[in-house]
Each structure stands twice: as structure tokens, then as C-alpha cells.
């Protein structure tokens, strides 16, 4: 009696709620009370779970497979549960060696049997074994058929699985309708929850935040996704989090920071032994003389599974860093048939953009600049099509570098345009426009409002003409020989206010943060020296000696005050503009000159 109650609870957790952890607990409890072959078969099926290869440790995996074989031996061959057990064992065997023959044979048997539950399970498990690149069209048919069959099974998990697999297929194929499929899955889960599917939904939503370049939102989303995975009892919770964080850090130029985390994850018993995604990640972040690249094996021998493109992508980039010309060429040859596909991890939970970018990098490494320009141009278009902003920026910068390396007549100008379009991924022109009460600076996806200072008008001219030397006479708009104070009243007032702030900071931080206090005192001393140089007897402001010198000094000081104000409001942008704007008799904005 206790076994039947545990079985009922386990089935509900698995097929209706998507609670994989509870399902395993209930089925394990039922196993302790098994009294007949039918209960043994139900228990063995329930312990298999929703996905292929849910049991990751060697001991757990072998124990569940042995239980399923034992159940298959003791129940009649024509029992519907026997067919479901054969389907499960075929899928597990195929997944282990990246094959498909056994599970597709079992799928055909399920079609002939006419059992909707067995057919639904065969369709879902077969789809899981067909996640390699190049199998898209067949996969799509399986997902659509599963959605149809779900109307006959009465199990929530079948409709959820069908929609989920359909959504995954769209993302892996860079289909423009992918987000529409995601919205349909989200709506289904809003009506009726399913924990395992919710975990995948969170992962895909995190991937989209990364594609949008919204890294500040993507990091907490990745943490939330991992929590959802742990709650659902999914073994991929840790692994997906690591891959998502790697993608964020990759586009931030900080991937090496994750080496210790990835190294621990790559050797975790909870990760699949049939998936090399985390060894690929380790190769990306390791030093060129590390052994991580060697763990990936030969490009020609890689299994056709969901991590194949990611592993080839890693082989190319890590191989370039290590100077492995032969390896890079072989990996590129394997990747070339999938040049227009996005490099994604697992069920599309993380994305490194178009495979064409890695092919372009391989072409540059081989000295084939024309070929590289073709690949990078394709990558830019593909990344824009899937809305992957960081990857599009990366491809633009790579394309600009390749064009500059080729150096034809129009290449340099074209390269500059790509650099200016490259968003936060590289040197990008900052846009400055006048508002009613001041100025608006746009920097990638960010915007900043700055008050109406004289220097902001000068900055607006420079920012609108990147690379052009603008004479100071053009900036001030006059060539008159008129006396002009070195410090206008507003500037003097701002300097005094800043001196008061620095004095207060130096006193406040003296005990808690001596280094900050010292920096405040140094800045105050510098400002005092500046004021002394700009004032004459009685504290009156000095005047410029001549029109050219007056213009040069006035413009330089006005621009400096504007940059100081910008840096107070946005430290990164302020520091960047200080490095990229040159003042003198002519002034120039040179994006990327830091």
C-alpha cells in the first residue's frame, strides 16, 4: 500500500509538476516496498526521469540502468511498460555514444504499437539524442509530433516537453520566431507550473539578456536560474550557471577570472561525462601552455551533440592562443558546414554568436585576410539577425581589424565606420545632443544628462567629428582680440565648492580610510595651485595675453571642467573621454586611442 502511494506521488511530481527531485525520492521510497513486477517496472521508469542521462554519477547511473533491465526481464514482453523500458534503455545507450539508431528504432516500434504515452516518451527522448548540429529538420518534426500526441496522453509534461523542444529547436537554428516560441512556453507555464521546464525557460531568458548586452541583469538572472534548477532537481543547474557566467565574462574581456570556477566545475561528478562543454570552457580561459586544449581530443572525433559547435569554437580560439596551426585548420574545417549557426551550449542556454566569427579568426591566423573579411562580414549580419549585440560588436571590431590589415583604399574608412558602430564592445563614438536644460550624452546603451556648461558645447562639436582636428577658433566661434578672464565666475565658484568638499572628505576619511584622505588632500593642493596660477593681485582673475592663446586656454579649461562634471556622474565615461580627447591649438576626439 505504501508503495502504491509513493508511486502515485512520484508520477504526479514527474509528469504533472516537473519536480525531478521529489519524483526521485518518491520512486526510491516505492522501490523499497516493491511486491510485484508491475510495480518494479513503474519504479524503474520513474527513476529514469524526464531527460536522458539524469543520473550523472557512475554508481547512480549503473544502478538505475540495472534496475530497468531487471524490470524488463520480469514483465511480459507485450506489457506497455516493457516498450517504455526498451525506449528508455535505447535512448540512454545512444546518448552515451552519440548515436541515434537504437532510439529511432524504438521510436518506430512505439509508432506501430499505438500507445500514446510510450510514443510521447520516445519522441522526447529521441529528440534529446538528436541535439547535434545538422539534425535540425528531423528534430523539429519530433517536437511538433510530440505536441500533437500530448493531446492524447493527458500528461502535462508531454505538452510542456513538446513546446520546450520546439522552442529549443528555433533558438539552435537561429529562427526569427524563436522568441515567439519562448513566449508561448512562458504562457503555458503561467497557466500551470512545471519546475523542470521553468528552469529551462529561465536559462533561455538569461541567454537573451546576455545577447542584449544587459550584463548587469544577466548575472543575477543566471543565479536565479541556478536556484530554479536546484529546486527542480536538475543536474545541470551548476553547469549551466558556469557556462552563462563564462559568456558574460567573455564579452567583458574578463573570462580568465573564471578559470578556478570552471576547473572545479569541469571535474564535478554532477556534470555529464558525455559532454565536453566544460572542458571547452576551460580551454578558452586557460593559459596557452595549459593541458586543457589536449583534453578535447581531435576535431574529427568530436561527437555530434549539443556541445559540438562550442567545442570547435573553443578549439579555434585556444588553438590560436597556443600557436597550433594544424589544430585550428582542422577545427575550422569541421565548423565550416555550420558557419551560419549560432554557437550555443546545451539547450541554447548560452550563446557565443555566429560560428562565422571563429572561422574568421582561423582565417586571420592562417593569413587569409580576404577570407577572414568574408567570415566576419557574415558574422556581423548573423549576430544582428539574432539580436546578439555583444557578438555583433565583437564581429565588427574583428572585421575592422581585418580591413585595416588588408589596407585597400576604402578599407580604412570602412574599418572606422565599423569601429564607431561597435557599441561597448570597442572604440565607439559618444553622441552628444543639446537638451532644453543642458546636454545628453549617449554611450552604448547608457545615457547621461549634463548641465549646460561651456565645455559641453565644445565637446558636442568634437564628438560629432571623430578623428577630425578642430581649430580652437572654430570651437569658440570668434577671432576677436578681446580680454577674457582665465577663470569665469562660474568656474571660480565650482573650484571653491570642490575645495570645501575635499577638505571635508580628508577630515572624514582620516581615521577610516587614510589612503582616500591622502588622495583628497592631494587633489585639494592641486586645485589651490591652479587657482593661484589663474588669479592676480587681490584675487582678481588674470586675463589672456593674446587671442590665439586666450582661445586655446579657454577651450582647454572649459573642456576639462565639462569632463570633470561627466566623471562625477559616470566615472567610466569620464575617464574614457579624458583619454580620447586631445586639446591644443586644435582639438580632436579620437575614439579608441586610450
In the predicted model, what is the mean pLDDT of residues 100-120?
95
Query: Both 480 and 494 in a single domain?
Result: no
Query: Both 406 and 524 in a single domain?
Result: no
* CB atoms closer than 10 angstroms to residue 383: 27
In the predicted model, what is the mean pLDDT of residues 536-540?
46
Query: Both 21 and 162 in a single domain?
Result: yes
336 or 511, which is more confident: 336
Q: How confident is the model at residue 492 (pLDDT cuts 50, 70, 90)?
A: low
Cell of 140: 523539429
Q: What is the CATH number of the domain that holds 121?
A: 1.25.40.10
In a domain, 213, yes or no: no
Helix, strand, or coil here: 350? strand
Q: How confident is the model at residue 483 (pLDDT cuts 50, 70, 90)?
A: very low
In the predicted model, what is the mean pLDDT of residues 334-350?
95
* CB atoms closer than 10 angstroms to residue 260: 9
In a domain, 240, yes or no: no
Query: Both 591 and 505 in a single domain?
Result: no
Question: The domain containing residue 576 runs over which residues?
Answer: 437-484+545-594
In this predicted model, what pLDDT tens digit does every residue of 136-168 receive, in sequence order?
889 999 999 999 999 999 899 999 999 999 999
In a domain, 309, yes or no: yes
In a domain, 174, yes or no: yes
Query: What CA–CA distance (Å, rounded) separates 468 from 492?
Result: 31
In this predicted model, what pLDDT tens digit does every residue of 281-322 receive, in sequence order?
888 888 666 677 888 889 999 888 889 999 999 999 989 888
In the predicted model, what is the mean pLDDT of residues 449-463?
87
In DSSP terms, 283 is beta-bridged to none
Statement: residue 528 has pLDDT above 90: no
In this predicted model, what pLDDT tens digit does every residue of 260-280 receive, in sequence order?
888 888 888 777 777 788 888
In a domain, 30, yes or no: yes
pLDDT (0 to 100) of residue 482: 40
**Domain stops at, among 193, 216, 232:** 193
pLDDT (0 to 100) of residue 471: 85
In the predicted model, what is the mean pLDDT of residues 421-432?
63
Q: What are phi and psi of 201, to 5 degrees?
A: -60, -45
Query: Both 10 and 113 in a single domain?
Result: yes
Statement: residue 495 has pLDDT above 90: no
Residue with grid cell 569665469, as numbered in its chain: 488
The residue among 554, 405, 400, 386 whose CA lies nearest residue 486 is 554
**Domain stops at, among 145, 170, 193:** 193
pLDDT (0 to 100) of residue 30: 85
Query: Both 392 and 480 in a single domain?
Result: no
Query: What CA–CA distance (Å, rounded) separates 111 from 152?
Result: 14
Query: Both 383 and 457 in a single domain?
Result: no
pLDDT (0 to 100) of residue 466: 76
Statement: residue 453 has pLDDT above 90: no
In a domain, 99, yes or no: yes
In a domain, 313, yes or no: yes
In a domain, 206, yes or no: no
Q: Which DSSP string corresponds to 419-449?
A: HHT-GGGS--PPEEEE-SSEEEEEETTEEEE
**Domain stops at, among 146, 171, 193:** 193
Task: Using a pLDDT cut of 90, give the percent of the chain over it.
Answer: 51
Helix, strand, or coil here: 342? strand
Query: Both 175 and 138 in a single domain?
Result: yes
Query: Both 415 and 316 in a single domain?
Result: yes
In this predicted model, what pLDDT tens digit does every residue of 380-425 receive, in sequence order?
999 999 999 999 999 999 999 899 888 888 888 888 888 878 853 4
Helix, strand, or coil here: 173? coil
Query: Both 421 and 310 in a single domain?
Result: yes
Query: Both 50 and 85 in a single domain?
Result: yes
Mean pLDDT across the chain: 86
Number of domains in the chain: 4
Say which range, 78-87, 145-154, 229-238, 403-412, has the weakest mean pLDDT.
Answer: 403-412
pTM: 0.71
Say which range, 47-51, 53-57, 73-77, 540-544, has the weakest mean pLDDT.
Answer: 540-544
- The arrangement of strands across the sheet holding 431-434 comes to 431-434, 438-443, 446-451
Query: Both 502 and 559 in a single domain?
Result: no
Q: Which of 337-341, 463-467, 474-478, 547-551 has the highest mean pLDDT?
A: 337-341
Q: How confident is the model at residue 17 (pLDDT cuts 50, 70, 90)?
A: very high
Q: How confident is the model at residue 484 (pLDDT cuts 50, 70, 90)?
A: very low
Amino acid at each position: 500500500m505504501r508503495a502504491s502511494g509513493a508511486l502515485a506521488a512520484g508520477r504526479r511530481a514527474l509528469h504533472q509538476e516537473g519536480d525531478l527531485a521529489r519524483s526521485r525520492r518518491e520512486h526510491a521510497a516505492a522501490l523499497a516496498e516493491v511486491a510485484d513486477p508491475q510495480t518494479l517496472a513503474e519504479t524503474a521508469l520513474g527513476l529514469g526521469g524526464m531527460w536522458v542521462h539524469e543520473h550523472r554519477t557512475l554508481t547512480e547511473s549503473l544502478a538505475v540502468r540495472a534496475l530497468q533491465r531487471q524490470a524488463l526481464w520480469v514483465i511480459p514482453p507485450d506489457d506497455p511498460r516493457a516498450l517504455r523500458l526498451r525506449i528508455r534503455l535505447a535512448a540512454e545507450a545512444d546518448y552515451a555514444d552519440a548515436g541515434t539508431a537504437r532510439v529511432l528504432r524504438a521510436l518506430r516500434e512505439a509508432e506501430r504499437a499505438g500507445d500514446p504515452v510510450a510514443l510521447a516518451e520516445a519522441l522526447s527522448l529521441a529528440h534529446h539524442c538528436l541535439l547535434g548540429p545538422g539534425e535540425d529538420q528531423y528534430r523539429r518534426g519530433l517536437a511538433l509530433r510530440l505536441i500533437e500526441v500530448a493531446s492524447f496522453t493527458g500528461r502535462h509534461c508531454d505538452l510542456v516537453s513538446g513546446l520546450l523542444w520546439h522552442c529549443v529547436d528555433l533558438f539552435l537554428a537561429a529562427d526569427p520566431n524563436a522568441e515567439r516560441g519562448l513566449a508561448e512556453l512562458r504562457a503555458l507555464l503561467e497557466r500551470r507550473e512545471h519546475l523542470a521546464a521553468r528552469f529551462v525557460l529561465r536559462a533561455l531568458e538569461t541567454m537573451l539578456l546576455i545577447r542584449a548586452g544587459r550584463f548587469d541583469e544577466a548575472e543575477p538572472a543566471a543565479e536565479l536560474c541556478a536556484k530554479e534548477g536546484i529546486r527542480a532537481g536538475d543536474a545541470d543547474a551548476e553547469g549551466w550557471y558556469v557556462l552563462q557566467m563564462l559568456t558574460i565574462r567573455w564579452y567583458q574581456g574578463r573570462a580568465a577570472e573564471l578559470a578556478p570556477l570552471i576547473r572545479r566545475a569541469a571535474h564535478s561528478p554532477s556534470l555529464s561525462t558525455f559532454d565536453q562543454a566544460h572542458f571547452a570552457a576551460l580551454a578558452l580561459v586557460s593559459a596557452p601552455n595549459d593541458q586543457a586544449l589536449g583534453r578535447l581530443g581531435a576535431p574529427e572525433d568530436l561527437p555530434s551533440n549539443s556541445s559540438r559547435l562550442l567545442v570547435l569554437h573553443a578549439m579555434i580560439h585556444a588553438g590560436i592562443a597556443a600557436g597550433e596551426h594544424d589544430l585550428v585548420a582542422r577545427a575550422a574545417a569541421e565548423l565550416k558546414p555550420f558557419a551560419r549557426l549560432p554557437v550555443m551550449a546545451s539547450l541554447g542556454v548560452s550563446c557565443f554568436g555566429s560560428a562565422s566569427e571563429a572561422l574568421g579568426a582561423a582565417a586571420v591566423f592562417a593569413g587569409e585576410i580576404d577570407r577572414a573579411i568574408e567570415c566576419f562580414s557574415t558574422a556581423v549580419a548573423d549576430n544582428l539577425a539574432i539580436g546578439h549585440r555583444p557578438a555583433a560588436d565583437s564581429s565588427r571590431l574583428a572585421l575592422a581589424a581585418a580591413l585595416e590589415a588588408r589596407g585597400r583604399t576604402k578599407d580604412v574608412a570602412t574599418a572606422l565606420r565599423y569601429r564607431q558602430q561597435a557599441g561597448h564592445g570597442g572604440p565607439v563614438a559618444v553622441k552628444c545632443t543639446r537638451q532644453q536644460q543642458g546636454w545628453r550624452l549617449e554611450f552604448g546603451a547608457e545615457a547621461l544628462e549634463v548641465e549646460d556648461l561651456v565645455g559641453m558645447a565644445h565637446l558636442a562639436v568634437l564628438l560629432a567629428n571623430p578623428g577630425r582636428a578642430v581649430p580652437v577658433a572654430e570651437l569658440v566661434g570668434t577671432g576677436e582680440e578681446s580680454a577674457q578672464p582665465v577663470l569665469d565666475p562660474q568656474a571660480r565658484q565650482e573650484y571653491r565648492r570642490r575645495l570645501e568638499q575635499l577638505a571635508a572628505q580628508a577630515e572624514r576619511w582620516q581615521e577610516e580610510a587614510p589612503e582616500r584622505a591622502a588622495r583628497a588632500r592631494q587633489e585639494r593642493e592641486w586645485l589651490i595651485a591652479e587657482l593661484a596660477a589663474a588669479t592676480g593681485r587681490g584675487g582678481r582673475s588674470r586675463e589672456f595675453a593674446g587671442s590665439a592663446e586666450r582661445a586655446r586656454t579657454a577651450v582647454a579649461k572649459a573642456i576639462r571642467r565639462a569632463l570633470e562634471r561627466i566623471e562625477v556622474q559616470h566615472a567610466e565615461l569620464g575617464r574614457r573621454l579624458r583619454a580620447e580627447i586631445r586639446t591644443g591649438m586644435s582639438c580632436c576626439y579620437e575614439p579608441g586611442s586610450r
